[in-house]
Chain A
Amino acid sequence: MALLDVKDLKTYFSTGDGVVKAVDGVSFSIEKGQTLGIVGESGSGKSVTCLTIMGLNPKKYTMSMGEAVFNGEDLLAASPTRLREIRGNDIAMIFQDPMTSLNPVHTIGTQLVEAVTLHKDVSKQEARSRALELLKEVGIPRAERRIDDYPHQFSGGMRQRVMIAMALINNPELLIADEPTTALDVTTQAQILSLIERLQQDYNSAVIMITHDLGVIAEIADDIVVMYAAEVAEKGPVDRIFKRPHHPYTWGLMGSLPRLNTDVGRLAQIQGQPPSLLRPPSGCRFHPRCPYVMDVCRTKDPELLPVSDDRTHLQSCHLDEETKEREAARLLGTFATEAAAT
């Protein structure tokens, strides 16, 4: 049984301008100890999907539908008390901006101890030594002194490490990392990613990594979900998606990656803008920007269907398989020729 099985998840927000369909039928699953990468542009619904799983959306304006089955239990149907037991304990989440994610008026020691005592019935001393242990694990130097420091006394990278420590302190089975490195510089990014990878192996946690950076995904993910406009465009094992992508959006994403070994006048980009989730386009949501658009795309929203030779690889596009294979090969061919030319 999968650790987390999300089935047809929908999250709608009622706003003054109408209903925003932030997540509109997303399904994926993740096994114990695996890494799932969720990729997409800003506004594609990646963060909201995970916030919905955790139950962290503002209750007043949010309607959630579908299922998110964690260890056999549907989180969307769980009581608030049960959700609070799970959060920070079985499922932990870290967020994008480490500069603002820690309470500025409490020491990091206090906040770490809080994470422990919320779920485990231990003394303050034990919680504190556990916190110290985690701080050393995530690589905070002089942890015994630093544990009583305040967040503003740490740099961004250090704060993110503290956040990771806080998330892993109760050995969660699943860690959701929402763009943990977007706000950090590249070298710190590499350090944080390798830290997450190492801790994942040590603790045997599953990780959902949300990012818009394909490079990050390629490095650490086992499976990928590509999201576009609140829906899943394509999903499957990482090498299938990277070597044989079957969706025009994925082609666009990979084609727009800047490469060090070529000189281009202008970076390639996907034409157009992501659509409004208030009034999404009819039919396939990508059709206004798709270079391969056909008449059927404008009227019928394609279903998420498996590729013929690999049932774990699913895509939602009306194009026939032959065309997809050809285009995928062509795209990867251009990468190869560029590599060969240098």
Chain B
Amino acid sequence: MLRYLIRRLIWAVALFLTVTLIGFVLFYLIPADPAKFACGRACDAAQVAKVAHYLGTDRPVYVQYAKFLGRLLPFDFTHWHFKAPNLGRSFVNRQSVNSIVGAAAPQTASLVFGGLVIWMLIALPVGILSALRPRSLLDRISMTGVLVGISAHPVWLGLIFSYFIGYKLKWTPIANYANFFHPLYGQPGGPIQWAYHLILPWFTFAILFAAVYVRMIRANVMETMNEDYVRTARAKGAPEWRVMRSHILRNALLPVVTMLGMDVGLALGGAIFTETVYSLNGLGYQTIQSLNNYDSPTVLGILVFATTAIILMNLLVDVLYAWIDPRIRLS
């Protein structure tokens, strides 16, 4: 197991370097000068050159990349001591990218993990019940629901929800994030407000995933129900709840674990549509803003964060899967 983990960690590092390098190069290739953009329209060539020197964009690309990596590593080679990883400073307002990501990540994380709970709470019962009663009324309704859920765009859903539920019925707020711990002065805060502001975003975000997962869980359970070992369990005299729990679900839900890891990892990179509709200043929203401003340090910083999240989630899922499926563990 240890060798497996070490191998995976080495792969993770290689993957990380590749992704950041590609991101870096892509930015370099964009035919827009960040220095000119940061300086403003009224600047002349000399002022732009000064800004470029200040930002460091006049150095060759490999130097820029080396400095980027150097800032990122938790170790300072020039002074030989440990330091915190630094994602650089925004080209736009010289704010530390660490703090930008630090402010945006909790919003995205709240959205994603809360949405995860809701989508699994919907998908598990609906998927399992539909599999147990195929072609029944419940099954047909849920399959129609799945079709709607997959087809409906999160932006459209978000607008519909916020208009009818937030604006017309005034049951929930229609925008913005309430900080769980430290509310800004004059703003709502604390756990209850946090959840209250996130209700609509959670459902908007969850619907697409719930639809996909209902379909997958239904298919897996239906397939597992026909397996020989389920028949053996019944032949042993096991009651139906036990057959369902220990034999059917224990096998049918294994692939769900892998998919969850991938989906959560991906979503942590930014649920762009939902964040935009509800004005949640999460990673997705921040990425769009920074792209429009050609603010490469911020975009790269968010890329680093997202890549790390995805790699970690995949690693976690691999380890978890090896633990729950003995055929993988012992091969």
Contact = CB atoms under 8 A, between A and B. Distances in A.
Given A102-B229, A105-B250, A152 B327 contact: yes
Interface stretch (B55-63, B232-240, B273-281): B232-240
A60 B295 CA distance: 63
Contacts of B13: none
Contacts of A339: none
A224 interface: no
Contact of B235 (A87, A102, A119): A87
A99 to B, nearest CB: 8
Given A150-B326, A153-B330, A95 B234 contact: no
24 contacts: A56-B231, A87-B235, A87-B237, A88-B237, A88-B238, A89-B237, A95-B231, A100-B228, A100-B229, A101-B228, A101-B232, A102-B229, A103-B229, A104-B326, A105-B325, A105-B326, A114-B238, A118-B236, A118-B238, A119-B237, A150-B326, A152-B326, A153-B330, A166-B232
A93 B235 contact: yes
Interface residues of B, number: 23
Contacts of B326: 104-105, 107, 150, 152
A87 B234 contact: yes
A115 B247 CA distance: 13
A97 B231 CA distance: 12
Interface string A49-77: 00000101000000000000000000000
Contacts of A102: 229, 232
B289 interface: no
B147 to A, nearest CB: 24
The interface size bin for chain A is 20 to 34
Nearest to B134: A60
Nearest to A151: B229
B251 interface: yes
Given A104-B327, A105-B250, A150-B326, A163 B237 contact: no
A98 B326 CA distance: 18
Interface string B214-248: 00000000000001110111111111001000110
Nearest to B324: A105
Contacts of A166: 232, 236
Contact of A150 (B227, B254, B327): B327
A107 B327 CA distance: 11
A92 interface: yes
A119 B239 CA distance: 11
Given A104-B251, A104-B327, A95 B237 contact: no
Interface of B: 227-229, 231-239, 242, 246-247, 250-251, 254, 324-327, 330
Nearest to A176: B235
A124 interface: no
A52 B233 CA distance: 16
A85 B236 CA distance: 9
A84 B238 contact: yes
Nearest to B327: A152
Nearest to A99: B228
A54 B327 contact: no
A87 B246 contact: no
A290 B227 CA distance: 38
Interface in A248-281: none
Nearest to A89: B237
Nearest to B133: A60
A243 interface: no
Of A105, A150, A163, most B-chain CB atoms within 10 Å: A105
A326 interface: no
Contacts of A100: 227-229
A106 B234 CA distance: 16
A88 B229 contact: no
A86 interface: yes
A88 to B, nearest CB: 4
